[in-house]
């Protein structure tokens, strides 16, 4: 059985790593890793391969950045050639990036069976490019592996047959649990940070950083938070570009190449992190402010308070059961929740069902069962 696993951006690497490890335990499975190159530079891609012990891609498409339409189209053109040459039995896509959508579309046209890992997540906000990617990928997929129970319910409401849906758990947590000890504290020492003595920030969604007035409003409340506790901000290249373009540099302090002294306050810009360094910053922080989906899940498992700067989430289980709180862009809400955390009134959460580090094993078991079922039908 030949299986192609597709990655394109950093969240994909975290999800595919444990799956590749599990697939390669089975002698009857040949697995190939295709990297579209949607993200490919030292800070955004290469360091993740090193941190996660990922093998070099078997096929690298080298697509690079571009508009959604341009990037998706170029991935489709190149991936079609891969499918024609390799003729796999199954293609596995993960997450909700443009590579996920593009490769699913090609598979549907060829046709080649496609499995979507992390299927069924819904924000019900069609202004999010990721939501479009999720909905279309799920509609085209032959097998849908879900990370939480409500994701399966979303798929059933959309008319997906139950026999296509497999509740296997959260594969990001496989990686988190495997590497959390290895993450260590090197980056804390390098930056001069103490455990629980800082907040961690990520901000990259277009709705937050691509419009000047919106970004300025967020930066204003972040600076206020930074006056109460140092805020460490590993800044996405596009976000850093917009900080300069919109004239917002005065809200931030660039500490590239130097540490953060304990007495200092502010929002400190640092370069993008590899997986291990970022995990170290996250699990040792007082709290996290983010607009990322995956970080909502990781903080829930780590028991770290998470304030999500969005009006919605495709991961409601992190709010219902975990440590996540949706604060939107409300200065009042952010101010209140930060005050509660600093006063020790922290939201308690629990780890959702099947977020136990065994998801990759369950996915491969399901794939092998599907293979056996299909072979039985042919005979």
With CA atoms as reference, report the closest residue to 151 among 369, 299, 359: 359
Phi, psi of 183 (to 5 degrees): -60, -35
Residue pair 148/171 in contact by the 8 Å Cβ criterion:
no
**Candidate list 204, 227, 236, 250, residue with the active-site label:** 204
Q: Residue 178, Cβ neighbours under 10 Å: how many?
A: 15
Q: Is 204 a catalytic residue?
A: yes
Mapped onto helix, strand or coil, the DSSP state of residue 257 is coil
* Non-local CB neighbours of 161 within 8 Å, separated by 6+ positions: none
DSSP H or E stretch at residue 357: none
Buried b / exposed e along 32-65 (16+ C-beta atoms within 10 A): bbbbbbbbbeebbbebbbebbebeebebebebee
Q: Both tokens of residue 128?
A: 């999010």
Q: Which long-range contacts (CB under 8 A, 24 or more apart) does 367-370 make?
A: 367/3, 367/90, 367/115, 367/143, 368/26, 370/143
CA-wise closest residue to 78 among 1, 6, 136, 2: 6
- The dihedral of CA 290, 295, 300, 301: what is its sign? negative
> Other C-beta atoms within 10 Å of 262: how many?
11
Distance CA 199, CA 119 (A): 31
Instruction: Give bridge partners of residue 308 from the DSSP assignment.
Output: 290, 326
- Quick check: 354 and 170 in contact, CB under 8 A? yes
How many Cβ atoms are within 10 Å of 267's Cβ, its own excluded? 22
Q: Which residues are identified as catalytic?
A: 204
């Amino acid at each position: 059985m030949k299986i192609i696993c597709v990655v394109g951006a950093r969240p994909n690497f975290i999800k595919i790593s444990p799956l590749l490890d599990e697939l390669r335990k089975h002698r009857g499975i040949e697995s190939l890793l295709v990297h579209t190159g949607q993200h490919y530079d030292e800070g955004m891609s290469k360091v993740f391969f090193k941190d996660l012990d990922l093998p070099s891609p078997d096929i690298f498409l080298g697509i690079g950045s571009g508009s959604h339409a341009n990037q998706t189209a170029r991935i489709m053109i190149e991936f079609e050639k891969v499918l024609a040459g390799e003729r796999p039995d199954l293609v596995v896509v993960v997450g909700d990036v443009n590579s996920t959508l593009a490769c699913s579309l090609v598979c549907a046209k060829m046709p080649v069976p496609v499995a979507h890992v992390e299927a069924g997540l819904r924000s019900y906000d069609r202004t999010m490019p990721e939501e479009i990617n999720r909905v279309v990928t799920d509609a085209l997929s032959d097998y849908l592996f879900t990370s939480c129970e409500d994701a399966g319910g979303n798929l059933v409401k959309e008319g997906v047959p139950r026999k296509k849906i497999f509740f296997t758990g959260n594969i990001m947590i496989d990686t988190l649990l495997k590497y959390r000890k290895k993450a260590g504290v090197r980056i804390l020492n390098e930056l001069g940070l103490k455990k629980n003595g800082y907040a961690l920030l990520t901000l990259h969604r277009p709705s937050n950083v691509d419009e000047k007035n919106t970004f300025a409003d967020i930066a204003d409340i972040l600076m206020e938070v930074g006056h109460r506790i140092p805020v460490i901000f590993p800044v996405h290249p596009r976000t850093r570009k917009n900080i300069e373009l919109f004239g917002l540099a005065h809200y931030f302090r660039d500490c590239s190449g130097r540490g953060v002294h304990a007495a200092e306050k502010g929002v400190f810009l640092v370069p993008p992190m590899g997986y291990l360094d970022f995990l170290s910053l996250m699990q040792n922080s007082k709290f996290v402010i983010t607009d990322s989906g995956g970080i909502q899940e990781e903080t829930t498992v780590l028991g770290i308070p998470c304030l999500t700067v969005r009006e919605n989430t495709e991961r409601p289980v992190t709010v219902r059961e975990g440590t996540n709180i949706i604060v939107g862009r409300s200065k009042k809400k952010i101010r209140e929740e930060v005050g509660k955390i600093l006063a020790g009134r922290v939201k308690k959460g629990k780890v959702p069902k099947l977020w136990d580090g065994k998801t990759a094993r369950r996915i491969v078991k399901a794939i092998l069962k599907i293979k056996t079922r299909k072979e039985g039908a042919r005979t």
